[in-house]
Chain A
Amino acid sequence: MLHVENLRKSFGPVRALDGISFSVGKGEIVGFLGPNGAGKTTAMRIIAGFLSAGEGRVTLDGVDVADDPVAVKAKVGYLPEQPPLYPELRVREYLTFVAGLKGVPKKEVTDSVDEAMQSVKISDRADQIIRSLSKGYKQRVGLAGALVHRPPILILDEPTVGLDPNQIVEIRHLISDLKAADRTLIISTHILAEVEQTCERVIIINKGKIAAIDTKANLLAGAGDKAEITVEVAREGERAGGLLEGMGAAILGRDGNRLTVSAQPGQREEMAKRIIESGCGLVALETRRVALEDIFIKLTADASAGVN
């Protein structure tokens, strides 16, 4: 459905995107993850047709955004980081305006607006002036604007930035509801939890380059050959440490009888058996779950300043 090939973009001497390529299929939910300044917004803006690519191309259903921007834009729903709202308008007026702008046929405007308001649960605020809405509701109005022309692909750039924890949860629920609608979704974010909870595939971008691109499950599995295991014994912590080292585990730290080691998760049963047999007294054995966060930190560890 969407193909991005060797995208490059510079702003003066700063290279924001340095040859990124990826594809997104119909109905997929992809997380575009990267630290601030990695080039996420630049990539989103090029896909949405707001910026031109310096090099490379973006095609949607075979149509190049540079050749026919109007046709591509008609198929894309884009919510920028700051929702583009006219504060003096009422919610319904704004969405009617956006529907007209996006080319929704006149006869269908009322239905499209009602449907968009329902899908982000703002029907009760239809007649409220946008200026008077809370930040969370403004974000919903922006989301409704991106949905009003029923686009097959939806691009959300940092959809929860600046919201309070309750509003974040609400927006994530709304995004989860959008999943069911068989729509391709690209969510750009620097918040890992967002990707962990809503996306199937992850593109990790750092300094304008793709650092990793895989399904969430594969990324987690790939990083899982060594896990951080905490072993607590009743006595003789030092001797227990020696035993674990003898099995090939690396001691990461020791606090009295509490040891943190790096080892393969498959060794845990053997570790427990040897400690019990040694008489040191196994009190606890915990494996810290390898999260996407670890992979993200590992891949973007040396992230420094860039262009957002």
Chain B
Amino acid sequence: MHAMSAIYRREMRSYFVSPVAYIVLTVFFILSGFFFTQIVKYTGQANLGGLFGNLAIVLLFTIPFITMRLVAEEKRSGTIELLLTSPVKPFEIIMAKFLAAWSLIGLAIAGTLIYTLLLLLHSPMETGPLLMGYLGIILLSGALAALGVLASSLAESQIAAGIIGFGISFILMLLNWVGQSGQDAIHYVLREVSVIHHYGDFLEGIFDAKHLVFFLFWGVLCLSFAVKSLESRLLK
């Protein structure tokens, strides 16, 4: 745990000593602010469902940018040799890095609480859908961060990691669109494997345990493969 916390703290520090955290947070706040004002202006409703729907697309673009460096840069600079010759398990390295990326995204999402507060000050809101919306976006960001960590552990450069992470996320979104265009078994499967599809019910304020299980399964699967990829370096 001590080593995991050391890696986590270093990752968080690296985000904030480089422009990465500032760029991500700025872009996220500008876009979420834009979506918020537009949605409130045109729907006239105190509902953040529309905002969370659009933020999913923003996350799709920003998360690969946050995660691409995590493992790929350690391999490029040679610091992976320090990590893998330390008394730390590959699982702990991957988890610490994943949690750091997820925390940074969590910080960005936490910024949207300002909009919630603004709405609450001016009109009554149902807390159920609001909480579901936040739970959904936190789970979605976790799943995309886990995918990003996997991409970074597979790639040798951060650019390649970013492209792989974004490419797979984008394909998962496309699968949902294609899946929605029909009702047969193939379309059903396409919908079910897409992370975006499982996010949909949260936006409607519906809690279904199968979505929760899906996100957990997705996260565990990606992180397990990332751990395997790191372990395979030791066996090379």
Interface positions of A (Cβ within 8 A of B): 11, 45, 48-52, 70-71, 73-74, 76, 78, 80, 82, 84-86, 88-89, 93, 97-103, 105-106, 145
Contacts and interface: CB of A to CB of B under 8 A. Distances in A.
Contacts of A82: 78
21 contacts: A11-B236, A51-B234, A51-B235, A70-B87, A70-B89, A74-B87, A80-B82, A84-B77, A84-B80, A84-B81, A84-B82, A85-B79, A86-B10, A86-B14, A86-B77, A86-B79, A88-B14, A101-B6, A103-B2, A103-B87, A145-B82
Nearest to B93: A101
Contacts of A145: 82
A49 B85 CA distance: 6
Contacts, number: 76
Nearest to B17: A88
Nearest to B7: A101
B85 A98 contact: no
B84 A49 contact: yes
Interface of B: 2-3, 5-7, 9-10, 13-14, 17-18, 77-89, 234-236
A76 B85 contact: yes
Contacts of A99: 6
Nearest to A82: B78
B23 to A, nearest CB: 16
Contacts of B77: 84, 86
A163 B185 CA distance: 65
Most chain A Cβ neighbours within 10 Å, of B81, B82, B88: B82
B171 to A, nearest CB: 33
A127 B144 CA distance: 37
B87 A102 contact: yes
A127 B100 CA distance: 25
